Amino acid sequence: MSTHHRNNPVDLLVIGAGPVGLACAISALRQGLSAKVIDKGALVNSLIGYPTQLEFFSTPELIEIGGHPFATQRYKPTREEAISYYQGVAKAEKLDLRLYERVLALEGEVDHFVVKTDQDQHPCRHVVIATGFFDIAKMLGLEGEEEPRVTHYYKEPYPYTGRHVAVVGGKNSAAKAALDCYRNNAQVTLIHRGPELSDRVKYWLRPDLENRIAEGSIKAYFNTAIRKIEDRSLVLETPNGEVRIDNDFVIAMTGYQPNYDLLQTLGVEIGDDPARTPLFDPVTFETPRPGLYIAGTVCGGLHTGRWFIENGRHHAEQIALHIATGKAPEVDLGAKNWKTAE
């Protein structure tokens, strides 16, 4: 890496190259500021981790950034179309991207920050953290969960054809995984600790899954938890007592959470509420550490469904305006009770 940046700090360094992070950099450029984006993985790394051919809940215009039209022939864009779109936007904007570079520390103070990574040191005046929540899975807490047959990330159904597959969860990710695997000739059992499927399951998935359960094509256990992962079987605790089922694979769609270790290492204070919500100004998105902002889903803490691309992208405009002018925008995005987009 070139060292001349040490003497020429950027106005805004964005940690996280997801859609909201890219939007933050673009909004900074629109305000006449310089910007740089760092990510420990690929461009829009979380979207790359999404299931193949996943359909977004949002329509294309709601996940556009930087005023770039999202052209698609579908009413709901797919993962692949979204990845291509954001790659195109980053290229068109000529964003300064530092990918596969892990952030380790943030030193200094506003106007004189230094972001240290595993490869370089980046001086900057302001920092925004837009790291999302897809990196750390909520674990079941069971012995055997670390085995290869157990995964917290679902990609596609083909490895599970002809096998006994347990899908854990009752939201969108679990619904899609269960239906995909069933349609690729896996023997699927859905296990959910709640009494029924979440009412937030996408409207085109919920009736399909309910019908498959009703006809017996997919076996479902509600108000149920896995108590033990055994060799080729699972022990379940159901309302009717203990049940043992055959099992080859477990797809645990139990949710994800922000990287709290990184947030706290970088100086973000965490609230003592049940959602462990990071502390920030709901108008400017600045944290109690002056010059340090957060944006996107990370703002919701454990309430990962509160912010999505379609509402989180607007954080970028608020942050850039505050940095460029020192003025707080009039719109209070942080306090709005947004309809979840999960």
CATH code of 300's domain: 3.50.50.60
| Mean pLDDT for the stretch of residues 143-165 | 96
- pLDDT class of 1 with cuts at 50, 70, 90: very low
pLDDT of residue 304: 87
pTM metric for this prediction: 0.90
Are residues 244 and 179 located together in one domain of the fold? Answer: yes
CA distance 115 to 105: 6
* pLDDT score of 2 more than 80: no
Residue 111 lies in a domain: yes
Task: Read off the pLDDT of residues 165-209 as tens digits, 9 standing for 90 and up.
Answer: 999 999 999 999 999 999 999 999 999 999 999 998 999 999 999
CA distance 28 to 324: 8
Are residues 304 and 232 located together in one domain of the fold? Answer: no
Cα angle 194, 195, 196 (rounded to 5 degrees) comes to 95
| Mean pLDDT for the stretch of residues 222-232 | 96
CA distance 175 to 181: 10
Phi then psi for residue 7, to 5 deg, are: -100, -5
Radius of gyration of the chain from its Cα atoms, rounded to whole angstroms? 22
| Mean pLDDT for the stretch of residues 143-149 | 93
How many CA atoms does the CB half-sphere of 93 hold within 13 Å? 26
CA distance 282 to 302: 17
Domain housing 310: 4-136+256-325
- pLDDT class of 327 with cuts at 50, 70, 90: confident
Question: Can you point out the beta strands (E) in the chain?
Answer: 10-15, 35-38, 97-98, 103-107, 113-117, 121-129, 136-137, 150-151, 164-168, 187-191, 219-221, 225-230, 233-238, 241-246, 249-252, 256-257, 292-294
Are residues 161 and 283 located together in one domain of the fold? Answer: no
Q: Where are the alpha helices (DSSP H) in the chain?
A: 19-30, 45-48, 79-92, 172-183, 206-214, 260-265, 309-325
Are residues 278 and 242 located together in one domain of the fold? Answer: no
Residue 342 lies in a domain: no
> Which residue do the tokens 């300064």 mark?
96
- pLDDT class of 211 with cuts at 50, 70, 90: very high
Are residues 151 and 227 located together in one domain of the fold? Answer: yes
- pLDDT class of 329 with cuts at 50, 70, 90: confident
> What interhelical angle do 172-183 and 206-214 show, nearest 10?
60
Of 151, 196, 159, nearest to 175 by C-alpha is 196
Contact between residue 207 and residue 180 where contact means Cβ atoms under 8 Å apart: no
For the chain, report the end-to-end CA distance as a whole number of angstroms: 39
The type of residue at 112 is: H
Q: Choose one of 252, 287, 305: the last residue of a domain.
A: 252
For strands 233-238 and 241-246, give the pairing. Answer: antiparallel
* pLDDT score of 340 more than 90: no
Q: How many domains does the chain have?
A: 2
Are residues 12 and 86 located together in one domain of the fold? Answer: yes
Task: Read off the pLDDT of residues 103-123 as tens digits, 9 standing for 90 and up.
Answer: 999 999 999 999 999 999 999
Q: Choose one of 224, 252, 280: the last residue of a domain.
A: 252
The two structure tokens encoding residue 317: 């405009």
* pLDDT score of 48 more than 50: yes
